[in-house]
Amino acid sequence: MAFNAMEKKLAEYKCDTNEAISLKVVRFPEDVDDDSTTFHPEFSHQVFGDDEIAFGYKGLQIQLFYTAGNLSTLFKVKYSSKVTEAFDCVEPDDVEGKIREIIPAGFTSNTDDFTSLLEKEANFKPFGTLLHSYTVHNEEAGEFTYQIHKVEISCPGFREYHERLQTFLMWFIETASFIDADDDRWDFFLVFEKYNKDGETLYATVGYMTVYNYYVYPDKTRPRVSQMLILPPFQGEGHGAQLLEAVHRFYCSLPKVQDITAEDPSENYVKLRDFVLVKLCQNLPSFAEDKLLLGFSADMVQEAQDKLKINKKHARRVYEILRLRATDMSDEKQAREYRLEVKKRLFGPYRKNQRELAKMKKCLRPEELVSHMGQMDTQTQHEELEKSYQDVVEGYRRIIERIATHA
């Protein structure tokens, strides 16, 4: 009984680290105490383990605040009580040590010092060369201007800035890892917002992308998107699409680039890429409406590759989305042709399974074969195929709607 009571008491010293960590991108001194500017991690398991819990504190608050431009950092740990005050021989987690492992040195733990750093923000200018500018109209606040820059690691001050910037990855990308910035095959792309403060133009960090240039024999490169993050205060405003399109156009202008890919893309990234590539391809002659209804063609593959550095697999997705847009789904014949066209592609993995099964039949014992056969019966395959088809079409429709609202 006493043990249960003890366990209950100790449980009071557990904190959810996703709630305990408060992140902020600060422009004005009043932002520091304004809860509406705070955001929290989506993940903290890479720092605090799978259960995302810190033990040993009541009322734990971990503050990680950044100045909007230079990302000068305030790091502070606060709590109302510590487990060692109530129990002997029970050690709290080293919360501070765990965070220090991912944030670079040079932070302050004093709020007043941090606030005074905001005065230096006027000296911060975006790194690298300007690739693209765009504006976003906000009903309440008016017009905002954004800039996308391409940066080399050798740019003065950028290495230190990038070390501070990449700490955000740990909280928002599930399998994030820091990159070896010394490798000169990395390209960096950054998004900044221009804003006014006391009559001066200042810049706030919005997001970024890292791209690695792989060598392709004999004389080409294949840029592969590695990491991409738009900071939460700016998400949902279309910056990801602007960034991806600007990066795509940049690489399309380089004759040595073969095609542009992504490393282990998330579902959200795939949606974004579909949207951007459809936007880029929809005006190519080979993707004209009358051609779409004739099926996926070698001309589409060639033109997407030559003009936009899009590989065959991605060109196929673009074709399916644009063909859906061109198809009258209330016309039974058109709808059926479209369904068969998409299912034929989706059936590829099942066909591969069938071939593997045929091979297995030659070398597996009957009881082993039964377990594999069970995984692949025809009825299940048809049901799974239909479900995959419905999911794919639903995703495509969302992209078509988004394209229509951006037309």
Catalytic sites, residue numbers: 263
Please, which residues have CB within 8 angstroms of residue 389's CB and are 6 or more apart in sequence? 339, 342, 343, 346
Contact by Cβ (8 Å): 369, 356 = no
Rounded Cα gap, residues 358 and 351, in angstroms: 11
Q: Is 359 exposed, middle or buried (0-12, 13-18, 19+ CB in 10 A)?
A: exposed
- Burial 202-219, CB ≥16 within 10 A → b, else e: bbbbbbbbbbbbeeeeee
Cβ(243)–Cβ(207) below 8 Å: yes
Task: Give the DSSP per-residue string, 251-270.
Answer: HHT-TTB---EESS--HHHH
Cβ–Cβ < 8 Å for 318, 295 = no
Gap between the Cα atoms of 354 and 192, Å rounded: 51
The full DSSP string for 359-375 is HHHHHS-HHHHHHHHHH
Beta bridge partners of 24: 65
Q: Is 274 exposed, middle or buried (0-12, 13-18, 19+ CB in 10 A)?
A: buried
How many angstroms separate the CA atoms of 346 and 405, rounded? 29
Q: Are 18 and 42 in contact (CB under 8 A)?
A: yes
Gap between the Cα atoms of 322 and 281, Å rounded: 9
The CA distance from 299 to 207, in Å, is: 36
CA 153 – CA 184 distance, rounded (Å): 7
Helix (H) or strand (E) holding 118: none
b (16+ CB within 10 A) / e for 220-249: ebbbbbbbbbbbbbbeebbbbbbbbbbbbe
The amino acid occupying position 130 is L
